[in-house]
């Protein structure tokens, strides 16, 4: 049974903005699930609905084995890192980190005091509070604060106030404040966006490591595809309030179900080249003035004569003695990776090639390019859907 299950969520803001449009999603216990999408696609809205900070118009949210759709945030047992995190400015870093645990202690105490009330003690056990002893609580809080602070490299800052640390450090305190709690699901909204590139890369690894070690269930929001590919056990790609594709990073990258997913994942992005299936023969396709023979495939026969989009990843563009003619615009290298930007001579479409092999090309030079036919994707222009892939038998 999944730890978090979201079924057919609908959420509108006012009459016009459909922020979530039928979102369904299951996240398994211990899974690191990444929600990936562009700005305005509904990522924050979705996790705010899961946290109970927004009420949904329809649909159900189940956490653990409880349907929590109508529960207030405090009863959902989720911990959240906000996109616009806010720390308590008058508390030190230590006190900010300890705050959720102290709040838990206070709630447990008040539940104990009301222990004659059957509902309150039931709530206590649902929230996972055992009997709380003041001394052990204090030590437990202290241990956890130091452990989380060390992991996030903020252990030197525990005595400072948020106004006395950097933006990236504040963001790590906000992350720590969520991780310090026991929760069924941890919801993280772009929690690393304020860190510099190097710290971001190392914190990603630390966070992923910690998540696996603790076995916690995470829904992690990002618009950064590299973050999604490197951290996610699975990725859900969201656009316009709809979850378009869910899968393992490798599968979503290799078999994108539509043009949006294909273009959103990959840097440089996938090359999309106009192509026409031959009218008389469904095993060849023309692009850039070149006729490419594909392994004969009856799946292409319904597209005879049709204009489609050929999707070729930059790493799958090869230079050859045969192929579509193209002019080299620019070559550049970053470390050992070489990027070649070209224009197809016949159609003036841009094509990028990426390789770690040496390239010896001059700007303006004419070359012939061929896609790797083992990794070709073909999309229908009007529906934007993948209609053929050489990776899919
Ligand atoms: N409180 C609100 N009132 C009205 N519209 C809203 C509200 N919150 C979000 N929206 C709209 O809902 C849509 C989804 O917004 P959301 O914040 O979920 O996007 P996002 O994917 O988190 O984007 P970003 O990457 O920029 O944070 C957007 O069109 C946004 O303008
Ligand atoms: Mg957002």
pLDDT tens across 16-63, in order? Answer: 899 999 999 999 999 999 999 999 999 999 999 999 999 999 999 999
Handedness of CA 356, 360, 361, 367 (dihedral sign): negative
pLDDT at 105: 66
CA distance 393 to 389: 8
Residue nearest to atom 16 of ligand 1 (CA): 42
| Ligand 1 atom nearest to 223, measured from its CA | 25
Ligand 1 pocket, mutate which of 11, 35, 37, 41 (most atoms under 8 A from CB): 41
Is 60 exceeded by the pLDDT of residue 385?
yes
Handedness of CA 157, 230, 215, 73 (dihedral sign): positive
Highest mean pLDDT among 103-107, 189-193, 235-239, 280-284: 235-239
Lowest-confidence segment of 96-110, 233-247, 283-297, 332-346 by average pLDDT: 96-110
Residue nearest to atom 14 of ligand 1 (CA): 42
Tokens of 114: 């009301």
| Ligand 1 atom nearest to 241, measured from its CA | 14
Which residues partner with 319 through β-bridges? 369
Q: Which of 359, 365, 375 is nearest to 345 (CA)?
A: 365
Q: Is the peptide bond before 120 cis (omega within 30 degrees of 0)?
A: no
| 278 or 67, higher pLDDT | 67
| Ligand 1 atom nearest to 221, measured from its CA | 22
- What pLDDT, in 10s, does the model give residues 62-115? 999 999 999 999 999 999 998 777 889 999 999 999 988 877 666 556 555 544
CA distance 61 to 25: 10
pLDDT interval class at 336 (50, 70, 90): very high
Q: Estimate to the nearest angstrom the gap between the alpha carbon of 150 and the chain centroid.
A: 26
Ligand nearest to the backbone CA of 82:
2
| 201 or 103, higher pLDDT | 201
Ligand 1 pocket, mutate which of 40, 228, 243 (most atoms under 8 A from CB): 40
Using a 6 Å cutoff on CB, does residue 239 contact ligand 1? no
Residue nearest to atom 18 of ligand 1 (CA): 42
pLDDT at 147: 87
Q: Which of 75, 84, 86 is nearest to 126 (CA)?
A: 75
Tokens of 172: 């790590």
Residue nearest to atom 26 of ligand 1 (CA): 39
pLDDT at 155: 94
| 2 or 118, higher pLDDT | 2
- Across the range 209-234, mean pLDDT stands at 93
Is 50 exceeded by the pLDDT of residue 372?
yes
pLDDT at 114: 47
pLDDT interval class at 123 (50, 70, 90): very low
Q: Which of 191, 234, 189 is nearest to 243 (CA)?
A: 234
Q: How far is the CA of 39 from the centre of ligand 2 (A)?
A: 7
Q: Which of 268, 277, 291, 288 is nearest to 353 (CA)?
A: 268
- Across the range 273-287, mean pLDDT stands at 86
Please give the share of the chain, as a percent, with pLDDT higher than 90. 64
Using a 6 Å cutoff on CB, does residue 43 contact ligand 1? yes
Strands 307-312 and 317-320: unpaired
Residue nearest to atom 30 of ligand 1 (CA): 40
Residue nearest to atom 2 of ligand 1 (CA): 13
Q: Is 373 helix (H, G, I), strand (E, B) or coil?
A: helix
Q: How far is the CA of 36 from the centre of ligand 1 (A)?
A: 14
Domain locations along the chain: 259-389
pLDDT at 54: 96
Quick one: fold of 259-389? OB fold (Dihydrolipoamide Acetyltransferase, E2P) (2.40.50)
pLDDT at 129: 39
Which residues partner with 290 through β-bridges? 287
Q: How far is the CA of 243 from the centre of ligand 1 (A)?
A: 15
| 187 or 104, higher pLDDT | 187
Is 50 exceeded by the pLDDT of residue 380?
yes
pLDDT at 346: 95
- Whose structure tokens read 């006395």? 164
- What pLDDT, in 10s, does the model give residues 130-159? 445 667 778 888 988 998 898 888 999 999
- Whose structure tokens read 């709809």? 242
Ligand nearest to the backbone CA of 189:
2
Mean pLDDT of the chain: 88
Using a 6 Å cutoff on CB, does residue 17 contact ligand 1? yes
Please give the share of the chain, as a percent, with pLDDT higher than 70. 91
pLDDT at 122: 38
C-beta separation of 36 from 237 below 8 A: yes
DSSP 258: B
Ligand 1 pocket, mutate which of 42, 51, 83, 187 (most atoms under 8 A from CB): 42
Residue nearest to atom 11 of ligand 1 (CA): 19
Tokens of 241: 């309030």
Residue nearest to atom 5 of ligand 1 (CA): 13
pLDDT at 84: 78
Question: Residues lining ligand 2 (ion), CB within 5 A?
Answer: 44, 83
Lowest-confidence segment of 207-211, 246-250, 286-290, 338-342 by average pLDDT: 207-211
- Across the range 283-299, mean pLDDT stands at 83
Q: Estimate to the nearest angstrom the gap between the alpha carbon of 73 and the chain centroid.
A: 23
- Whose structure tokens read 């400015």? 89
pTM over 0.85: yes
């Amino acid at each position: 049974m999944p730890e978090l299950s979201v079924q057919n969520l609908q959420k509108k803001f006012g009459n016009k903005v459909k922020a979530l449009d039928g979102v369904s999603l299951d996240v398994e216990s211990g899974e690191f699930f990444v929600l990936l999408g562009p700005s305005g696609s509904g990522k924050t809205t979705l996790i705010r609905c899961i946290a109970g900070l927004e009420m949904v118009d329809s649909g159900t949210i189940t956490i653990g084995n409880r349907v929590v759709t109508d529960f207030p945030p405090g009863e959902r047992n989720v911990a959240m890192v906000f996109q616009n995190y806010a720390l308590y400015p008058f508390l030190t870093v230590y006190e900010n980190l300890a705050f959720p645990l102290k709040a838990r202690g206070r709630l447990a105490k008040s539940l104990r005091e009301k222990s004659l009330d059957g509902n309150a003690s039931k709530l206590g056990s649902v929230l996972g509070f055992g009997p709380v002893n003041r001394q052990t609580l204090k030590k437990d809080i202290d241990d956890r604060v130091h452990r989380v602070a060390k992991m996030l490299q903020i252990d030197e800052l525990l005595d400072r106030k948020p106004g006395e640390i950097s933006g990236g450090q504040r963001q790590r305190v906000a992350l720590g404040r969520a991780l310090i709690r026991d929760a069924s699901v941890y919801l993280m909204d772009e929690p690393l966006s304020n860190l510099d590139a190097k710290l971001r890369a190392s914190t990603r690894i630390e966070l992923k490591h910690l998540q696996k070690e603790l076995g916690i269930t995470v829904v992690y929001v990002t618009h950064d595809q590299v973050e999604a590919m490197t951290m996610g056990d699975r990725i859900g790609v969201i656009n316009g309030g709809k979850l378009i594709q869910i899968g393992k990073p490798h599968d979503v990258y290799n078999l994108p179900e539509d043009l949006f997913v294909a273009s959103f994942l990959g840097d440089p992005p996938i090359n999309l080249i106009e192509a026409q299936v031959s009218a008389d023969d469904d095993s060849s396709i023309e692009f850039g003035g070149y006729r490419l023979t594909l392994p004969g495939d009856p799946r292409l026969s319904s597209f005879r004569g049709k204009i489609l989009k050929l999707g070729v990843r930059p790493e799958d563009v090869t230079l050859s003695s045969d192929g579509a003619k193209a002019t080299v615009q620019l070559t550049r290298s970053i470390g050992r990776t070489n990027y070649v930007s070209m224009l197809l001579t016949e159609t003036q479409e841009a094509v990028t090639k990426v390789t770690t092999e040496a390239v010896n090309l001059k700007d303006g030079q004419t070359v012939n390019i061929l896609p790797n036919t083992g990794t070709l994707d073909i999309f229908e222009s009007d529906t934007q859907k993948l209609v053929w892939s050489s990776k899919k038998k």
